[in-house]
Amino acid sequence: MRGKPIYTIIAPIYNEIDNIQALYDRVSAVMDGTGESWEFVMVDDGSSDGSTAAILDLAAKDDKIVPVIFARNFGHQIAVTAGLDRSQGEAVIIIDADLQDPPEVILQLIEKWREGYEVVYAVRSKREGESWFKLFSAAAFYRLIQRITDINLPMDTGDFRLLDRKVVQVLNGMREKHRFLRGMSVWVGFRQTGVEYERAERFAGETKYPLKKMFRLASDAITGFSYFPLQLATYLGFFVAGLSILAIPAVVILRMTGSHPLLGQATTLIAVLFLGGVQLISLGILGAYIGRLYDEARDRPLYIVREDLEVKQEQADKTAGE
């Protein structure tokens, strides 16, 4: 058995067949340059384009690679979680598989870690080749989170970051089902700092984050760290109730002076529809929180690993020992 490495690199991989070799080459060049021991946890998040075989091929050639093969697509955040669960390094670095996070920046993250920081996140100072919609939605999202949650999420950071083993241990103990790891790694505290970098274009392939997944991540972030949407119903309720109390004397005066007859069903209809809408939205918000409560209560595993090579190895060792 190998001893525990100093560094663990984690890459979540979902249909990144044209990126895997380049990722491996560039990460290896950087990490071998440190002269210290490292491992590379490649989490295959239910790929269907041959990425799985590519990962297993690399793992057969290089025992620094720890393959984790999911039984289906569980999503980016869960894939990273599985990587954290498997990691053994003293410092753990999470990096995207599409080389948008340049592996060379890892050295800067490590430098800060050596200075004593326990969470070193990479801040995107510039982004290449992303649509205006992505840039706009990301900017709006970070500002919203900043306002309505009590965590101080640094602007323009992704999951590209270094976590000290102490932080990883705490995160591994937090088994919430709807995970927003950037928020969680801020929430835990510790000494944190950022390093700026220019986010590159995707090396190959298309984004694996369609609008639906972006929305899901955003709502997990909001519900995971804020009660604000739940309070919204209360605020709106007070506002509308206040408005109608003000309306009572107004209506009485208008009637008594006879200056305005107040005819028309349209006004009534608008008021009813408006309040009906507000109530349905509030119910939906309640539903979002209750659904998440339900997921926690049901307590299904966060992910299912199709091929558990480590377990297989342990079993093989056991039968060999018998």
> How far, in Å, CA of 311 to CA of 319, rounded?
12
Q: Is 97 in the site for ligand UDP (CB under 6 A)?
A: yes
Q: Is 157 in the site for ligand UDP (CB under 6 A)?
A: no
Pull the structure tokens for residue 313. 């190895």
Q: Is 16 in the site for Mg ion (CB under 5 A)?
A: no
Q: Is 159 in the site for Mg ion (CB under 5 A)?
A: no
Stretch that binds ligand UDP, among 10-18, 111-119, 250-258, 270-278 (CB under 6 A): 10-18
Q: Is 45 in the site for ligand UDP (CB under 6 A)?
A: yes
Residue 118 binds what, of Mg ion, ligand UDP, none (CB under 5 to 8 Å, by partner type)? none
Q: DSSP E strands: which ranges in the chain?
A: 7-13, 38-44, 65-70, 91-94, 119-127, 157-164, 192-199, 305-307
> How far, in Å, CA of 241 to CA of 253, rounded?
19
Q: What are phi and psi of 127, to 5 degrees?
A: -125, 130
Pull the structure tokens for residue 127. 């982004």
Which of 9, 65, 66, 79 touches ligand UDP by CB under 6 A?
79
Q: Given the complex with Mg ion, which of 187 and 197 has the nearer CB atom? A: 197
Quick one: which of 93, 86, 80, 95 has its CA closest to 59?
A: 86
Q: Is 208 in the site for ligand UDP (CB under 6 A)?
A: yes
Q: Given the complex with ligand UDP, which of 52 and 229 has the nearer CB atom? A: 52
Pairing of β 119-127 and β 38-44:
unpaired
Helix (H) or strand (E) holding 240: helix 228-257
Residues 6+ apart with CB under 8 A from 157: 121, 122, 123, 124, 182, 194
Q: Given the complex with Mg ion, which of 13 and 188 has the nearer CB atom? A: 13
CB of 139 to Mg ion, least distance (A): 17
Site for Mg ion in 77-136 (CB under 5 A): 96, 98, 100
Q: Is 12 in the site for ligand UDP (CB under 6 A)?
A: yes
Stretch that binds ligand UDP, among 32-40, 73-81, 143-151, 225-233 (CB under 6 A): 73-81
Q: Is 152 in the site for ligand UDP (CB under 6 A)?
A: no
Q: What is the DSSP letter of 153?
A: P
Task: Please report, as ranges, the residues that interact with Mg ion according to CB under 5 A.
Answer: 96, 98, 100
Task: Please report, as ranges, the residues that interact with ligand UDP according to CB under 6 A.
Answer: 12-14, 16, 45, 73, 75-76, 79, 96-98, 100, 207-209
